[in-house]
């Protein structure tokens, strides 16, 4: 299909809330956006897809008035905006759920509501804020389990994502006309993500437009009325509803991914029993309910609905393995809080493990000395090798880590673990925000490294990823309901085990 023809045929100026015409934005020498024209219409869900660094978040920062574009015009309800800043965006009814969540960790859920909704002042504001938040959470995520007085810092990443989404949709005196959702399901399990997608449809019926940015292309194909595909800061295609398939999106993104190329568990030899000295065994939790066997050289999945004890189990494995002096690396799930060093460069973020000193073969860790704290040349070589290998793009290695797009930051964390000498690698949703092409490369890397004897423990909220695991433990309420071997691990079995009672 001719992409340009698709773009023209779908141009319709009725009900246009926000119009973009020829928008351009640069960061130094990086052209983040070039000549972007697009109309966002009332009640419509627009999916936005594109490789990591394609310019999606930058475009959203323009729509929310955070970045002023250097070229182009923005129209609101058909009229060119003279000064389109965050206030103008708020008055136009634009709300945003950011990829790096924007909640204040040291405030409660209700207090975070009051921060963005100025009318929540005066007597009883706390009670009103709590009520509004709970009503909105009930509407989007029935059974969410959030009370409203909790500190954000005490919530799981999934719960924080739910609060941020509910806050953006909450009706106050400020209008809600266009809600931008930047990777809103990256920490939600399939069940909770489904609740959100249903709600997006309902909101559309009430005239609320949404923008769904996601690397989970199935979600976009299922939900969006039109899909804007971006490539290198430009519009690569605008696909109307009838042309939206995962394949069409991937083709427009310019990525070469065989969507059917998922491995079949049946091709791997399933090992029912685990041999003593070749395996890790861990037992922990209340009444020692969590028992995990991880043969060396295997990829072990942690599955189940989000927040059922998987992250806690990863931490317990980390503690146990550290005590027994295993060489271990951890890819943190909450990138902004636990993963990156925001004041450091990309290279420093990647080679931080060198600060811990190096091992001689299997011997003890050599303590770093003041004079030889870091072997700069060697660490530079490693950073360069991994930048190439995993495709970290967008800025030179010496640039600050925050100048990378979210997905590229995630690749740095992954490279940090793989570049280390760790034999046991724990991963808390490591492909959050990573584009589909890079994901496939990462899956291949994990399988290759496992074949070389490394063991991976992999918690993910994406059920597709268990196809790459040798055995998968399904969690429910802090315990394990089932262990599925590769050939038994399919969507149906995962779903059934996710809702089973955990073994006492």
Ligand X SMILES: Nc1ncnc2c1ncn2[C@@H]1O[C@H](COP(=O)(O)OP(=O)(O)OP(=O)(O)O)[C@@H](O)[C@H]1O
Kindly state the smallest distance separating residue 218's Cβ from ligand X, in Å. Answer: 17
Kindly state the smallest distance separating residue 370's Cβ from ligand X, in Å. Answer: 33
How many angstroms separate the CA atoms of 430 and 417, rounded?
Answer: 11
| Strand 30-41 relative to strand 328-331, pairing | unpaired
For ligand X, which is the closer residue by CB, 144 or 231? 231
* 394 binds ligand X, rule: CB under 6 A: yes
Q: Which pairs with CB-CB distance under 8 Å and at least 24 residues apart come from 316-319? A: 316/282, 316/284, 316/285, 316/290, 317/282, 317/292, 317/426, 317/457, 318/426
* 32 binds ligand X, rule: CB under 6 A: yes
| Contacts of residue 47, Cβ cutoff 8 Å, sequence gap at least 6 | 211, 212, 213, 214, 220, 221, 223, 224, 226, 227, 228, 244, 249
Beta carbons within 10 angstroms of residue 101's beta carbon: 19
* 30 binds ligand X, rule: CB under 6 A: yes
* 433 binds ligand X, rule: CB under 6 A: yes
Stretch that binds ligand X, among 48-56, 82-90, 283-291, 370-378 (CB under 6 A): 48-56
Kindly state the smallest distance separating residue 440's Cβ from ligand X, in Å. Answer: 15
Residues 77-136 that bind ligand X (CB under 6 A): 99
Identified binder of ligand X from the candidate list 19, 47, 50, 65, rule CB under 6 A: 50
| Contacts of residue 398, Cβ cutoff 8 Å, sequence gap at least 6 | 345, 346, 347
For ligand X, which is the closer residue by CB, 158 or 408? 408
| Strand 299-303 relative to strand 471-476, pairing | parallel
Identified binder of ligand X from the candidate list 56, 387, 416, 432, rule CB under 6 A: 56
* 52 binds ligand X, rule: CB under 6 A: yes
For ligand X, which is the closer residue by CB, 109 or 390? 390
For ligand X, which is the closer residue by CB, 246 or 403? 403
For ligand X, which is the closer residue by CB, 55 or 301? 55
* 431 binds ligand X, rule: CB under 6 A: no
Strand locations in 186-327 (E): 209-213, 226-231, 234-240, 279-284, 290-295, 299-303
Kindly state the smallest distance separating residue 52's Cβ from ligand X, in Å. Answer: 3
Kindly state the smallest distance separating residue 256's Cβ from ligand X, in Å. Answer: 18
Q: Are 489 and 265 in contact (CB under 8 A)?
A: yes
Kindly state the smallest distance separating residue 434's Cβ from ligand X, in Å. Answer: 8
CA dihedral of residues 299, 261, 452, 433 (deg, nearest 10) = -60
Number of H helices, E strands in the chain: 15, 18
* 437 binds ligand X, rule: CB under 6 A: no
Stretch that binds ligand X, among 132-140, 167-175, 322-330, 404-412 (CB under 6 A): 404-412
Q: What is the contact surface with ligand X in residues (CB under 6 A)?
A: 27, 30, 32, 50, 52-58, 99, 394-395, 403-408, 433
């Amino acid at each position: 299909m001719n992409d340009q023809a698709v773009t023209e045929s779908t141009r319709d100026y009725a009900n246009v809330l926000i119009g973009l015409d020829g928008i351009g934005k640069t960061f130094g020498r990086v052209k983040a956006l070039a000549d972007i024209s697009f109309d966002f219409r009332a009640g419509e869900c627009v999916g936005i897809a594109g490789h990591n660094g394609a310019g999606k978040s930058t475009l959203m920062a323009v729509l929310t008035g955070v970045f002023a574009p250097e070229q182009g015009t923005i129209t609101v309800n058909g009229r060119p905006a003279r000064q389109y800043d965050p206030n103008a965006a708020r008055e136009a009814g634009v709300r945003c759920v950011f990829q790096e969540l924007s909640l204040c960790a040291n405030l409660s859920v209700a207090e975070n509501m009051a921060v963005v909704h100025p009318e929540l002042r005066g007597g009883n504001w706390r009670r009103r804020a709590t009520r509004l938040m709970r009503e909105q959470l009930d509407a989007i995520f029935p059974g969410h389990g959030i009370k409203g007085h909790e500190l954000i810092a005490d919530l799981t990443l999934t719960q924080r994502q739910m609060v941020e989404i509910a806050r953006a949709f909450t009706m106050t005196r400020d209008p809600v006309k266009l809600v931008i959702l930047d990777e809103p399901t990256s920490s939600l399990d399939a069940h909770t993500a489904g609740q959100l997608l249903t709600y997006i449809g309902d909101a559309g019926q009430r005239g609320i437009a949404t923008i769904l940015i996601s690397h989970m292309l199935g979600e976009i194909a299922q939900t969006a009325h039109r899909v804007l595909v971006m490539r290198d800061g430009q519009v690569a295609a605008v696909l109307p509803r009838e042309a939206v398939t995962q394949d069409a999106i991937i083709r427009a993104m310019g990525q070469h991914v065989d969507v059917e190329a998922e491995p079949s568990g049946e091709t791997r030899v399933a090992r029912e029993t685990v041999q003593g000295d070749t395996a890790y065994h861990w037992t922990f939790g209340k009444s020692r309910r969590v028992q995990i066997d991880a043969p060396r050289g295997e990829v072990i999945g942690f599955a189940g609905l989000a927040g059922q004890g998987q992250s806690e189990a990863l931490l317990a494995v980390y503690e146990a393995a550290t005590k027994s002096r295993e060489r271990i690396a951890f890819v943190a799930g909450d990138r902004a809080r636990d993963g990156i060093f925001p004041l450091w460069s990309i290279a420093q973020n990647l080679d931080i493990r060198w600060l811990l000193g190096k091992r001689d073969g299997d011997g003890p860790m050599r303590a770093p000395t003041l004079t030889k704290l870091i072997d700069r040349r060697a660490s530079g070589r490693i950073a360069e090798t991994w930048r190439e290998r995993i495709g970290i793009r967008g800025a030179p290695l010496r640039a600050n880590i925050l100048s990378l797009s979210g997905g590229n930051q995630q690749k740095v964390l992954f490279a940090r673990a793989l570049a280390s000498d760790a034999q046991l690698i724990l991963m808390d949703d490591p492909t959050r925000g990573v584009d589909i092409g890079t994901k496939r490369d990462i899956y291949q890397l994990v399988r290759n490294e496992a074949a070389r004897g490394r063991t991976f423990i992999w918690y993910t909220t994406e059920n597709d990823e268990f196809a790459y695991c040798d055995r998968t433990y399904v969690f429910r309420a802090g315990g394990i309901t089932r262990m599925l071997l590769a050939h038994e691990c399919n969507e149906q079995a995962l779903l059934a085990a996710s809702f089973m009672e955990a073994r006492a």
